[in-house]
A and B are shown apart, each in its own frame.
Chain A
């Protein structure tokens, strides 16, 4: 029920006095009410729950998280094995999607 998914604001408009936006969820575009994120701008990412944007994604915080996680994996790569004692593959120290967002 509390499911909320990330999407990118394409366009902002007004409907019945409410701030609304067209949101792109990986290719599927749908509208959402933006009244609870009044400062949002096109191009920003938001989390949408049941037709309402409830938070603007903080890109800086997201980036910080990836960096910490990448360090974790780097440290393991230096040790040379994963938790199952298997040697790590060469390309696993640049995780998919873990790079620049």
Chain B
């Protein structure tokens, strides 16, 4: 497949690893933000091929994993209603709420449907005028334009029975929150390539400068990730802290302007709770008041629901890169992908699930 196979070439990977070895003289801690990158790193064993000085820690970049329990409970509450068709991306269905998940609602007779694009949900609403159709709008900046378009289309076409339950989060505020923490270990970031495809990287420049961390916008294939690591290590070794772009075939500095414009029309920045981390100021999106008709929290009056998270799962600490999944006492025992206790075990992009799938049950050889 063009634009995929070229980025998996083992000869080039070997050379890049050699380059990384050549430039590394000190220990460094690098965080990949995005869960898609975590999955690729663990699947390809990249963390184990790196020189032992370089530790990769896995970031909070899995929207499924950071969607707070109360948003899941709101989804469950709405999906259980009789006149509702509840639509979602497939990976939200098994995320545990306080006492069940969307699959259980479905098996108890709820009309829960998986869609590939939020526009499909608008179509379902057009085809079912006597039902309320709700889409679970979860995601980072990458997904926000798609969800914004669904609301915009419903608004333009007068589809009044379509609403979205918003749980949108933004990456840069989370990066800053991690760097500001007294426990922070992160010295360099691989920034998420597809988030930057939409947003560009201008907003990362002040972060790199203020916290003196190199930030390299990185793609998702093994060679992309290796090159991103190489660029980050070169900066760290040289004492530089700049924003660089590895993913040049896809990402431009200004990002995707038409997408940014529609997002700004439909959403406004608001405080958001992150599962396992807590509330981060100005770290997400809510619908603008003009679109209240398409805001499921208002349509179904569930805005006030608040719940606390159970304590046995340490996914909040895992998501901040402070512990590895195998350090959780429940990992692989009470908590497995079949019976997940936390969202990081549900999504294939969650660190716990990636470690489980590729049998990382023990400490790595190099400690």
How many residues on the B side are at the interface (Cβ–Cβ under 8 A)? Answer: 59
What are 27 inter-chain pairs, A to B, with CB distance below 8 A?
A: A1-B91, A1-B138, A1-B142, A2-B63, A2-B139, A2-B194, A8-B2, A17-B156, A38-B258, A45-B2, A50-B118, A50-B143, A51-B116, A52-B117, A52-B145, A52-B146, A54-B142, A54-B194, A54-B197, A54-B198, A54-B256, A62-B3, A72-B12, A72-B15, A73-B12, A76-B14, A98-B9
Q: Can you name the residue of chain B whose Cβ is closest to the Cβ of A8? A: B2
The answer to whether the Cβ of B130 comes within 8 Å of any Cβ in the partner chain is: no
A33 and B63 CA atoms in complex are apart in Å by 22
CB-contacts of B274-300 with A (<8 A): none
Within 8 Å CB of B220, what residues of A? Answer: 3
CA gap between A101 and B197 in the complex, in Å: 22
Interface pair A66/B3, CB less than 8 Å apart? no
B157 at the interface (CB under 8 A from A): yes
Can you name the residue of chain A whose Cβ is closest to the Cβ of B157? A16
Residue B30, interface by CB 8 Å: no
Select the stretch in B204-212, B245-253, B326-334, B358-366 that faces chain A. B245-253
Contact flags (1/0) for B28-42 with A, using CB distance below 8 Å?
A: 000000111000000
Q: A101 to chain B: which residues have CB within 8 Å?
A: 2-3, 6
Given contact pairs A4-B142, A4-B197, A72-B19, A58 touches B248 in the complex (Cβ within 8 A) = yes
Q: How far is the CA of A51 from the CA of B139 in the complex (A)?
A: 14
Question: Which of A25, A64, A82 is packed against the most chain B CB atoms within 10 Å?
Answer: A82
Which parts of A24-70 form the interface with B (CB within 8 Å)? 25-26, 32-33, 35-38, 45, 47, 49-52, 54-55, 57-59, 61-62, 64-66, 69-70
Is the CB–CB distance between B149 and A1 below 8 Å? no
A55 to chain B, nearest CB (A): 5
The answer to whether A6 and B15 have CB atoms under 8 Å apart is: no
Task: Tell me the smallest distance from the CB of B324 to a CB of chain A, in Å.
Answer: 22
Assembled-state Cα–Cα distance A97/B221 (Å): 14
Say whether B268 faces chain A, with CB atoms less than 8 Å apart.
Answer: no
Which of A2, A32, A55, A58 counts the most B-chain CB atoms under 10 A from its CB?
A2
Which residues on the B side are within 8 Å of A73 (C-beta)?
11-12, 15
**Chain B residues proximal to chain A, CB less than 8 Å:** 1-6, 9, 11-12, 14-19, 21, 34-36, 61-64, 89, 91, 116-120, 138-140, 142-143, 145-146, 149, 153, 156-157, 192, 194-195, 197-198, 220, 223, 248-252, 256, 258-259, 262, 347, 349
Of A5, A54, A73, A82, the most chain B CB neighbours within 10 A belong to A54
CB distance from B72 to the nearest CB of A (A): 15
Residues of A within 8 A of B262 (CB): 36
B64 lies within 8 A of A1 (CB): yes
Beyond A52-B146, A97-B5, 14 additional pairs, beta carbon < 8 A:
A1-B63, A1-B139, A2-B139, A2-B192, A6-B3, A16-B153, A36-B256, A49-B194, A50-B116, A57-B250, A73-B15, A82-B11, A82-B14, A97-B6
B256 touches A33 (CB 8 A): no
A11-23 CB contact bits vs B (8 Å, 1 = yes)? 0000011100000
Contact of B248 among A36, A45, A65 (CB under 8 A): A65
